[in-house]
Structure 1
Amino acid sequence: MNRLLARLNIDPYLLLLVSTVGLASIVPARGAWAGIAGGAADAGIALLFFLHGAKLSREAIIDGAKAWKLHLTVACLTFVLFPVVGLGVSVIPGLEPSLAMGLLFLTLLPSTVQSSIAFTAIAGGNVAAAVCSASFSNLAGIFITPVLTALFITGKTQGFSTDPIITIAVQLLLPFIAGHLLRPWIGGFVSRHKKLLGYTDRGSILLVVYTAFGAAVLDGLWHKVTLAELGLIAALSLGILAVIMVAGNVMGRLLGFNHEDRIVILFCGSKKSLATGVPLAGVLFAPAQVGAIILPLMFFHQIQLMVCAVLARRLAAQAEAQAAVPARAELAKAP
């Protein structure tokens, strides 16, 4: 089964997400169970950001600051060009309002960390720079995404409020800072148990998805969204990704970055984080809205993985072919 999914470039975690959506659609959390599940989801989010703080080394922050031009380029793609494209896409007529809001919201999110680094490594890019750039983007997103969301989404519909900022500070930022400050004592444990803690991360997200979709289903989500709209979301997600990737490639060349750094721009600048987006959506939006809002993000998450997997392998094959040319030339000269 895992081999088949790998051939199709399908993340097995996506199947868990889809199954969770199915479970929430059939058996949504109600009454006292909804309160218990919501409390557990909040605790899971706090734990998730605590672990993210513990994983981030201070050395990476210091070393990464040196390549500020590269990180600034990635940040411009992530927090400037992406939102501009999202604003244009979100006004397409005929799209259910919550889904349009979700498309815009996904463009306001920070980059992923693990997959950005993995694809950069596969393609032969600057892995150290990818680690720093993706980490900076994810950390900055805790501050920038809520501000952009207030400017472009919630501020227009609900008015500006300090409540989400306070919630983010208590539920996300404080655990992150606590984890980072405790890194000298727990960093070794976190590094030794990456696989186990990865299950904790993903389990927290699944719990948030279950509670969010359960609330949305009770609010009539599947009566509002059609299959045609889901297909449109997939097509728009692919279009958004294509625009950003082309723009990132052009920017990398125009700004004079070398091949390895252009790969960093390509993979770090084109990603959006499901792990950060789901908790932030839970904080920034009403419970009944969250399910529909994170639906486009789930589509985009899988599409970006599939496209980047193919692209990274192609870049790796090209690098191998180019490296083989001098070797063949030397063999030809040999007596």
Structure 2
Amino acid sequence: MNSYTSRFLFDNYTLIVSEYLDSKHMHRTLTESGDELRRVAGIHEEEEFARVLPVYVFDLDVNTPLLLDRYHQSVAFKDMVIAVRTRGTQAVSDYTCNGRHVFVHTRDLERPLVGSILQSMWGVSSTHLTWSPRHNSTLVDYTWSVGQTPFGPFSDISSLSFVQKDAAKRNVILTSLNTTISSAIDVIDSAVAYGGEAVLVKQHRHSEFMQRWNLLKYKMEKSVSALSHNDFEMALYYLRSASHDLYSMHSVVYLASQEVEASLDCFKDPPFPWGAVSVSGVGLVALSYVYAKRDRLFKSKRKQF
């Protein structure tokens, strides 16, 4: 547990010493004890198309308010959500609105939990985080973090705006689209590893593979088109339909690979290079003759000098 000192202006300046919890340390501890916690809670292994997101809520029997990392009632991680509350009903935050300090209702965890689950499960970014190309990073800007948003201290409404709803649906489509493309690349790599189109043609499976491939491309294009029109249900429909074509392509490549037979091609030794050896031999004899007769051949040259 850590502590910090804040300076607030009420009737006069007041120093308040507050304590807070380190969410990263708690996350590390909970991760190390994850298997035991799942066993006690009766949570079984995740299924292929299901995901279990643990939400740890610490309801502490203390009167002083406690927050996570000084500012948050709930913090989202990619594999869990951590929230904390105490018997205290409210705490003073470092934010002001219209010249007045903003109070956090520490007993109410509905809004922060909704926001954290949106972040962990659907990758919805907080409304007070904006992207800055100049800084190449995210910046904190609470200008639009008001109204229908579960993020930030400047709203008491837990309902979602259409922006957050669309972002959650869009992220599901984009994740499925990325998985489908990655699986299609794996299928092509597998086919190339066994000889590519030649193997499929030899096994009379090339036409079936190309039919499924063209159907997959068509459904992917239709899914992207539906996504661009915010028709998320139709986009998801085409993606799920494309998974059947992808499975059939996997089956075609697998069956073709089972019929591949290993063969050993023997080759004859190349003929002896008599021509090159003969030329080399003649050249060697000529050099030997010149070397042996060098005195007679160069005698006239030495007399001149």
More strand by proportion, 1 or 2?
A: 2
Shared fold (TM-score, shorter chain, > 0.5): no
More helix, by proportion: 1
TM-score, reference length from structure 2: 0.25
Does 1 or 2 have the higher relative contact order (CA < 8 Å, sep 6+)?
Answer: 1
